[in-house]
Chains A and B, each alone.
Chain A
Amino acid sequence: MSTVVAYKWSANPQDAVVGSDGTVDWSRAKAGVGEYDTIPIELGRRLADATGDELVGVSVGPAAVASPMAKKAALSRGLDRAVVLADDAVAGWNLTRVAAALAALADRAEATIVLTGDASVDENAKMTSALVAGSLGWPCFQDVSEVARTDDGWRLTQVVSGGTREIEVSGGVVVAVTTDAVVPRVPGMKEILAAGKKPVDEVSVSEIELPEAALEIQGRARPVMATRKHHVFGGTDAVNQLVAAMRADGAI
């Protein structure tokens, strides 16, 4: 039985440079464990310590995911071991295939729960948790700030508009964790040195079954930029005029 965390090894878009022609230069962006993924790893560590389960990281990505640097970076965060699919062919995969692969790795790790970050730091699609759950046939809950084990499943605290709600789930579940759920630990030298000795299971594409979900991107374009309005409302009725104008523009 294991608590599984899905993490991504990717470049931080904050380090990318966007040119005046719209092209993106990633050459200075250094790869690392996704900023949002360190949070479920920390939450998973605490959960695994409480339940006695093993904490397993799963990741799908290009060959660099299995590099010594990538392994140490992930394992030093608190994982007991990792199961990765590292293949440059992944670069052309859509989210559905990636999520199906993550689900297969989680299944291989005998997951009883899968934790993910709020979103990946580079794509920010917020879809991976739901797609992984779909592949596993499990329920999925996003915006979860707390997780605890119950006799037959899990108790989740989910952030909703205006507050939180408690959810009890039996069986397996996929949980996307809020960015402020926990403060991730910073790996010290002890953790980094120990990471080099932790096991990593490398799985090849041929070992797992993936759906033939095709996705063809027809094009990309910037959204149409609306012209900025410079309208100053004056007089005693200025507030009402502002409100009316905003209603007319659909802003409220």
Chain B
Amino acid sequence: MDFSLSEEQQLLLESLDELLERDCSLAYIAACDAEHRQPVEFKRAMHEAGFLTLGFPEEYGGTPTDTMTLCLIAERVARQGLNLGYSTEILQVLDILEFGSEEQKQAVLGVLAEGEVPFALAFTEPGAGSDSAAMAMTAVHRDGKVVLNGTKTLVTNAVDSKYLLTMARNPDATDPRRAISMYLVPMDTPGIELSPILKMCWHTADSSEIFYNDVVVDESCLVGVKGEGFVQLMKNFEVERIMTATQSLGLAEAAFEDAAAYAAQRVQFGQPIGNFQQIQQKLTDMAIKIENMRNFVYHSAWMVDNDCLDRTQAAMCKRYCSLAAFEVCDDAMQIFGGLGVTEGVRVERLWRDARGHRFGGGTDEIMVHIVGRQIVKQHSR
């Protein structure tokens, strides 16, 4: 089994390292986190260097790229300490490139070129988180228009977004499985009200509650096929779960490096604390978890690229990596002692951001729901 990177992947990662050194310093990330703002400058630089169009079809200015390479890039950016710094936009835009009209594609690609977030996904509702079937937002089609009413919550990156990719239900649909549709709604449409939500994690990605009060849009805002919204959204969800796992992996690697370096130089009782067995055990277990995460992520990416991803792999990968990364960050914080909870020490931010991945993109428990029932089903006679 050959685990080596191709020359192209090696060179691409070297290019990425150059970009990270130039446009995404540790101080820059810390400032974005402290100021609760998007790393727009870095994303613009990534777009100029062609990273944000990797995986896109060539006719849209992209370079077809395998999932493995996308994961390598996402991991490296997260390892720099920037959570959600890469990959989320690509996956979102792929949905539009696959199902959207030409006008929608050009609109979204244009925003991406500015280094800005193409759109925010408005999916979760106060009464419909893991239970997405309980979605209450309605979309009523009438005379060439669509009227949207409802509330979405914990919408990521909506504050500066130009569009909301909104999931809404047709109240008159007879088949509940074909009730939900996808709409690309301009943020400045009358009737949309946004209320920011402050969080303890993911400061570089804002969250909002969004109220749709008789929002009227043209039917051309429909993305893809009416009634197929959920199926369309789920198409890339498996890859999105693997990408979320790469975020966890990268953050854990950053925390581990910080903790190991600290343990090697922090002196207590006349010697580096890295000499003490309990610290060494923590570091060893952290290294093992990181190795496991790495293997899980890249095996999963390999399965996507070889078209053999089964129904449980992505969910298992996401669950394991989210939990393991948080444990690694927590141990890293413990190694730092009191210093670890002070602002300005990176591990504090890594710990907060790692925690968010235990529910972002699907909770730990929903991953069990997906995998567990499948395991039982496979073993049932």
A68 touching B49, Cβ below 8 Å? no
Tell me the smallest distance from the CB of A73 to a CB of chain B, in Å: 6
> Is there a chain A Cβ closer than 8 Å to B50's Cβ?
yes
Among listed A84-92, A144-152, A173-181, A183-191, interface-contacting one: A183-191
B-side contacts of A189, CB under 8 Å? 8, 12, 50, 54, 63, 65, 69
B7 touching A188, Cβ below 8 Å? no
**Within B1-37, which residues are at the interface with A (CB < 8 Å)?**
7-8, 10-12, 14-16, 18-19, 22
* C-alpha spacing A185/B22, complex, angstroms: 11
> Is there a chain B Cβ closer than 8 Å to A76's Cβ?
yes
Most buried by B among A72, A73, A190: A190
> Is there a chain B Cβ closer than 8 Å to A32's Cβ?
yes
Set A183, A185, A187: member contacting B11, Cβ < 8 A = A187
> Is there a chain B Cβ closer than 8 Å to A192's Cβ?
yes
> Is there a chain A Cβ closer than 8 Å to B183's Cβ?
no
**Within A94-132, which residues are at the interface with B (CB < 8 Å)?**
none
Interchain pairs with CB closer than 8 A, number: 47
Identify whether the interface residues of B are mostly helix, strand, loop, or mixed.
helix
A-side contacts of B65, CB under 8 Å? 189
Given contacts A32-B14, A193-B63, contact A188 B50 (CB under 8 A): yes
Number of interface residues of A (CB under 8 A): 17
Tell me the smallest distance from the CB of B164 to a CB of chain A, in Å: 30
* C-alpha spacing A189/B7, complex, angstroms: 11
> Is there a chain A Cβ closer than 8 Å to B326's Cβ?
no
Closest A residue, CB atoms, query B23: A186
* C-alpha spacing A50/B322, complex, angstroms: 51
A188 touching B51, Cβ below 8 Å? yes
B63 touching A187, Cβ below 8 Å? no
B-side contacts of A186, CB under 8 Å? 15-16, 18-19, 22, 49
| Size bracket, chain B contacts | 10 to 19
> Is there a chain B Cβ closer than 8 Å to A205's Cβ?
no
Tell me the smallest distance from the CB of A53 to a CB of chain B, in Å: 25
* C-alpha spacing A115/B206, complex, angstroms: 47
**Within A196-221, which residues are at the interface with B (CB < 8 Å)?**
196
> Is there a chain B Cβ closer than 8 Å to A16's Cβ?
no
For A8-28 the 0/1 string (1 means CB < 8 A from B) is 000000000000000000000
* C-alpha spacing A127/B7, complex, angstroms: 32
Closest A residue, CB atoms, query B20: A186
A-side contacts of B15, CB under 8 Å? 186-188, 192
B-side contacts of A193, CB under 8 Å? 8, 63
Tell me the smallest distance from the CB of A90 to a CB of chain B, in Å: 23
* C-alpha spacing A187/B17, complex, angstroms: 11
B-side contacts of A69, CB under 8 Å? 7, 10-11
Given contacts A190-B50, A193-B63, contact A72 B11 (CB under 8 A): yes
Closest A residue, CB atoms, query B69: A189
**Within B205-253, which residues are at the interface with A (CB < 8 Å)?**
none
Closest B residue, CB atoms, query A183: B22
Tell me the smallest distance from the CB of A71 to a CB of chain B, in Å: 10
Given contacts A185-B49, A186-B49, contact A192 B19 (CB under 8 A): no
**Within A131-171, which residues are at the interface with B (CB < 8 Å)?**
none
* C-alpha spacing A76/B54, complex, angstroms: 16
B18 touching A192, Cβ below 8 Å? no
Set B11, B16, B19, B63: member contacting A76, Cβ < 8 A = B11
* C-alpha spacing A72/B12, complex, angstroms: 11
* C-alpha spacing A192/B65, complex, angstroms: 12
Tell me the smallest distance from the CB of A28 to a CB of chain B, in Å: 15
B-side contacts of A185, CB under 8 Å? 49
A-side contacts of B69, CB under 8 Å? 189
B63 touching A73, Cβ below 8 Å? no
* C-alpha spacing A167/B260, complex, angstroms: 54
* C-alpha spacing A73/B9, complex, angstroms: 11
Tell me the smallest distance from the CB of A74 to a CB of chain B, in Å: 10
Given contacts A186-B15, A188-B15, A189-B63, contact A68 B8 (CB under 8 A): no
Closest A residue, CB atoms, query B63: A189
Most buried by B among A32, A73, A189: A189
A-side contacts of B7, CB under 8 Å? 68-69, 72
B63 touching A188, Cβ below 8 Å? yes
A192 touching B49, Cβ below 8 Å? no
For A60-86 the 0/1 string (1 means CB < 8 A from B) is 000000001100110010000000000
Closest A residue, CB atoms, query B55: A189
Most buried by A among B10, B12, B54: B12
* A-B contacts besides A32-B14, A190-B50, A193-B8, 18 pairs, CB < 8 Å: A69-B7, A73-B11, A76-B11, A185-B49, A186-B15, A186-B16, A187-B11, A187-B12, A187-B49, A188-B49, A188-B50, A188-B51, A188-B54, A189-B50, A190-B63, A192-B8, A192-B11, A192-B12
Which residues of A come within 8 Å of B, CB atoms?
Answer: 32, 68-69, 72-73, 76, 183, 185-193, 196
Which residues of B come within 8 Å of A, CB atoms?
Answer: 7-8, 10-12, 14-16, 18-19, 22, 49-51, 54, 63, 65, 69
- 28 pairs from A and B in contact (CB 8 Å cutoff): A32-B14, A69-B7, A69-B10, A69-B11, A72-B7, A72-B8, A73-B11, A73-B14, A76-B11, A186-B15, A186-B22, A186-B49, A188-B12, A188-B15, A188-B51, A188-B63, A189-B8, A189-B12, A189-B50, A189-B54, A189-B63, A189-B65, A192-B8, A192-B11, A192-B15, A193-B8, A193-B63, A196-B8
